[in-house]
Amino acid sequence: MNTFRMSPEEQKSVVDMAAGRIPADMLVTNARVVDVFSRQVVEGSLAVGGGRILGMGDYEAREIVDAGGSYVVPGLVDAHVHIESSLVAPPEFARTVMPHGVTTVVVDPHEVANVRGLDGIRYILDTSRELPLCVYVMLPSCVPATSGEHSGAVLHAKDLAELIDDPFVGGLAEVMDYPATVGGDPEVLAKIALGLSRGKVVDGHSPMLAGLDLNAYAAAGVTTDHECSSLEEMYDRISRGMYVLLREGSAARDLQYLVPGVNDANCGRCVFCTDDRQPADLIANGSIDNNIRIAVSMGLDPVMALTMATLNAAQCYGLRDKGALAPGRDADFLLVDDLEHFEARAVYAAGRLVAEKGTMLAEMPLPDNSPVLDTVNIRPVEEKDLVLELEHSRVNVIGIQPQSLVTSALVRDVNVGAKGVFSCSENPELLKLAVVERHHATGNVGVGLIENYGLKNGAVATSVAHDSHNIVVCGDNDSDMLAAIRDIEAMGGGITLVRDGEVVAHLSLALCGLMSDRDAAYVAEQLESMNRVAREDFSVNPELEPFMTLSFMTLPVIPELKLTDSGLFDVRSFSLTSVCAS
């Protein structure tokens, strides 16, 4: 897949510059060039012309850049990321990640697709085409993720066919419905076949899948997985010819478990990704550069880590022009003073300086956000909709695990009043969780119980609720939960904290109810302030990221229990279940 195609005249100019017949556009001198093919560092000069790498050698050039002995490395590739999780629009996302050395991203827009269908995907494509950041879009395979929830759209294979041939569509995004894939569901297989028919990649999502089921999943054509959280899972997938995307997100931090298993024999099938990172995390800690630093601090060879962040990702996704400093490839490169404490001093995209010393230099086009506004449409909710009636005192409870998307399926005995209605005041270790359908005003409200969130005297709500992005609210009383739902509706989507019926703090996310139209610094500052309020004033468990944790309590493809607008969902059986335990 080519990022941009050269005209015959441009191609001849690049060839003439590479051959030394005419001066190159730029020569980076006094450099230590990292060759990710052989995993060696070569001292010399690197020539650039026509937005392409020309090669190393003694070239004449119109511009000389003295690297001052720095390393010159390929631009970093994030192999799997949801732009929406940054809570900002694509241009602002680019402005945030490019100073950290990320020049290419492979994105899955299934958040906006679950809200606005094909129009949501087109929004990501259209607002990304003119960015200095190269954005490849994978077409969401599971909209909705399961039949146990209601999203804003339903996408079939015939719908995805409208976009599959776009040059910036890289293939099919994570196939989360692995039971249907293993079971040979015709619709799921048709989506996979659509991607494969164009020679494009099919991404996976198969936590804890093993044995013959994993064989079937790989045999269907799935070639990646970013959900490994153990060495056994990682080895199982590599042995089946799959790529493992080692994830370090804001909520799911898997490098600590997986990096010890990377070695010379299998590193070629290992790639870095972030999946979901929030704005403050991106600004403070970075993106794929953070993966590199963590991996190296754990003992991984720096050049091997860099290769995973560049060449391996490019090869995985068929990005022939990316991932290496070789003749003819895109001139996306960084100047880095220290490979162990990896930090991009200067960032070049297509041979142009776009960021320096942590500051973005390139101008960003203003996006047209009109296709992703006005997306909250709910039937009026009342307190009675949040009441949880129980037939007996033994209940199924969602157990939160810190720093993990996986939840525990707990069974607890609770105190039930004479009317058989659950009350948090009578059960202080548990909280209510509710999911309100917000796309078609169906009136659906799923109510369940959650443990280890730690909230007291109030409610927290958000319209960022993976993957269907209905409104999710957690609280210890129904009146505050209702007030939080109504505040989300009034903002057109967002995040809110409510106590005694009053909004204590909130953040508007008016773009699909997922993203702000403000800059990342503002969003990060507001969100960090709200995080402090959630932990300090609302007593949310300090081991948790308050809002991101809540947003994943509705994701019905990550074991074990989750909540949807249709009710409690048991991911182990991939079916709805009762709050009352049998």
397 pLDDT higher than 80: yes
Domain spans of the chain? 74-323, 373-577
Query: Given pLDDT bands bounded at 50, 70 and 90, which one contains residue 467?
Result: confident
Q: Give the tokens for residue 151.
A: 């999203």
1 pLDDT higher than 60: no
Per-residue pLDDT at 2 = 45
> Using alpha carbons only, how large is the chain's radius of gyration in Å?
24
Query: Given pLDDT bands bounded at 50, 70 and 90, which one contains residue 251?
Result: confident
Domain covering 74-323 assigned CATH 3.40.50.300 in the classification: no
Per-residue pLDDT at 5 = 75
The overall average pLDDT reported for the chain is 95
375 pLDDT higher than 70: yes
3 pLDDT higher than 80: no
Per-residue pLDDT at 406 = 87
- The pLDDT tens digits for 75-106 are 999 999 999 999 999 999 999 999 999 999 99
Segment 566-579 mean pLDDT: 94
Cβ within 8 Å of residue 397, ≥6 positions away: 410, 411, 412, 430, 448, 449, 450, 451, 561
4 pLDDT higher than 80: no
Segment 176-192 mean pLDDT: 94
Phi/psi-derived region of residue 55, left when phi > 0, alpha when psi is between -120 and 50, beta in every other case: left
Query: Could you give the CA distance from residue 288 to residue 281 in angstroms, rounded to a whole number?
Result: 12
- The pLDDT tens digits for 145-178 are 877 889 999 999 999 999 999 999 999 999 988 8
Q: For 349, which DSSP code?
A: E
Query: Could you give the CA distance from residue 326 to residue 74 in angstroms, rounded to a whole number?
Result: 9
Segment 59-73 mean pLDDT: 97
- The pLDDT tens digits for 551-572 are 999 998 888 999 999 999 999 9
356 pLDDT higher than 90: yes
Query: Could you identify the residue written with the tokens 């932990």?
Result: 535
Query: Could you give the CA distance from residue 331 to residue 110 in angstroms, rounded to a whole number?
Result: 30
Query: Could you give the CA distance from residue 510 to residue 501 in angstroms, rounded to a whole number?
Result: 22
Beta-strand ranges (E) seen in 227-298 are: 243-247, 270-273
Torsion angle defined by CA atoms of residues 340, 97, 151 and 379, in that order, rounded to the nearest 10 degrees: 120
Q: Give the tokens for residue 236.
A: 């199982």
330 pLDDT higher than 90: yes
Segment 310-325 mean pLDDT: 97
Which range has the worst mean pLDDT, 282-291, 465-474, 552-561? 552-561
Say what the pTM is. Answer: 0.91
Cβ within 8 Å of residue 380, ≥6 positions away: none
Nearest to 474 by CA among 444, 503, 433: 433
196 pLDDT higher than 90: yes
Nearest to 439 by CA among 254, 552, 270, 564: 564
